[in-house]
Structure formats: C-alpha cells, structure tokens
C-alpha cells in the first residue's frame, strides 16, 4: 500500500504500521526535518504522483504494510467505551473524516461493515490526516448482529437519525458503554440497523437544510456526548 500526504506518512512513521520506504521531493525534505531523519529518498513530484496515483501527495508518499484492523468486540472493553459505527458509508473521504473526529474525541474506535462500505485506503488515511494510524478501526460481517452483541456486553446503542421518530440527543444520559451509529450517504440507517438501536437521536435543526454530512454529524454528536458526560473538554488530557 502506498500512503500519500505529509500528515498520513508522518503518522504512519509514528504509529505501529511498518513503513518500508519513503519518497519525497527535495522541497519537502528541506522543510520537514522528520523526512531527513527517516532517510526519505529524493524524488520528483511526477514520480511521487505516479507511485501513489494522486495529485494530493504534498510531495511525500510511502510504501507501508497493509492496515491492520482491530477486533470489534475488544473496543467495548472499557466501562465508558465510546464507539462509532458507520452503516455502509461508502466514500473513503467521509470514512477518513469521521476517523479523524473519533480519534480527536478519544473514541475507543470505529466499526465498519466488511461489505458495501469504504475501507481504510490511502484516500481515507489522507482525509483522516493520519488519524487512522492511532485509532482502532474494526470490520464486522454483519453490523446489526454486532450491535446486538454490543448490547449484550452492556452497551447502549444510539442511532443518528434526522427523521421525526428521533429524540433530541441532549435529552439522554450517555453514561457507561455507548455505541453511536451513523448512516450512509443519502439513505441514512438501514431499517434493521435502526431497529437494533435503543434510541434514535437527532441534532437540532435550525436552518433550511435538513441533514448534515456524516463527518459533521459525527463531530457534533461525539463532542456533545463528551460534554454531557462532563469529561473536562476545557483542558487537555
């Protein structure tokens, strides 16, 4: 796999993934000390673009080991685990953006389906600004079945929904293990996934547009849940 972009490659170097080789332009090497320290191989921008098949490389790409997915059940180990599930989100940029938010908010991890869903590709890593290197992402064969196991493990499952059947998210208690489920682009949660949720929740809507991008909704809900938990958002951990 070839990652591209300064942040994704730098975070891969900092994280557990094996980095085989880094290529960078002379300009990138001159401005990024870590590239010199890692022994990046000088290359032209055209050569880097050819290697990673993207013009968004920022003068850096790297050959790395395949992404190692986590065990989904293990994400619920902590008594206050906060896990994000994505129901068939197919755009890797949306997956990456959600992972960036989840890592920043201190979520235990992200769960995605094995089929009809974006994977942790170089494009997702770029959109995540490298956050996927420090965040547990798990894949499950059947998301609805896994949500059932999560409930058996003592988790409360909340599905984000813009419809009339949802309750305002701020009216609920998010103590203990919490799983937040967000739906796919366009159609939202599938009926069986929605049926697995203990409650459907919604953000307040004040404007004319009645839905948000999945990563924007994830950011608002995750930080809203942290605020309701009173976990000290006013200071760094």
Q: pLDDT at position 87, please? A: 96
SS (H, E, C) 130-185: CHHHCCCEEEECCHHHHHHHHHHCCCEEEEECCCCCCEEHHHCCCCCCEEEEECEC
Q: pLDDT at position 234, please? A: 56
Average pLDDT, the chain: 94
The answer to whether 147 and 189 have CB atoms below 8 angstroms apart is no
- Mean pLDDT, rounded, for 95-109: 97
Q: pLDDT at position 210, please? A: 65
Provide, rounded to the nearest whole percent, the portion of the chain with pLDDT above 70. Answer: 95
In this structure, the strands spanning 199-202 and 109-113 are unpaired
**d(Cα 28, Cα 144) in Å, to the nearest integer?**
45
Domains and CATH numbers, the chain: 2-64 (3.30.1330.30), 73-229 (3.40.1280.10)
Q: What pTM, to 2 d.p., does this model score? A: 0.93
Q: pLDDT at position 237, please? A: 46
């Amino acid at each position: 796999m070839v990652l591209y972009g300064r942040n994704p490659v730098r975070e891969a170097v900092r994280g557990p993934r094996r980095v085989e080789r880094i290529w960078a332009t002379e300009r990138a090497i001159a401005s990024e000390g870590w590239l010199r320290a890692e022994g990046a191989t000088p290359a032209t921008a055209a050569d880097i673009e050819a290697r990673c098949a993207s013009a968004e490389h920022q003068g850096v790409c790297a050959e790395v080991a395949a992404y190692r997915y986590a065990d989904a059940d293990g994400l619920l180990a902590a008594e206050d685990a906060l896990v994000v599930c994505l129901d068939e989100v197919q755009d890797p940029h949306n997956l990456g953006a959600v992972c960036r938010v989840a890592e920043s908010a201190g979520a235990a991890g992200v769960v995605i389906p094995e089929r009809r869903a974006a994977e942790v590709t170089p494009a997702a890593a770029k959109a995540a600004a490298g956050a996927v290197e420090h965040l547990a992402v798990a894949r499950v064969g059947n998301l609805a079945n896994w949500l059932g196991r999560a409930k058996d493990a003592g988790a409360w499952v909340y599905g984000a929904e813009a419809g009339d059947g949802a309750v305002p998210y701020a009216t609920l208690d998010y103590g203990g293990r919490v799983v937040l489920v967000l739906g796919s682009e366009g159609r939202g949660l599938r009926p069986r996934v929605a049926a697995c949720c203990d409650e459907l929740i919604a953000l307040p809507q004040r404007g004319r547009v009645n839905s948000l991008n999945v990563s924007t909704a994830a950011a608002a809900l995750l930080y809203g849940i942290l605020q309701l938990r009173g976990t000290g958002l006013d200071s760094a951990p």
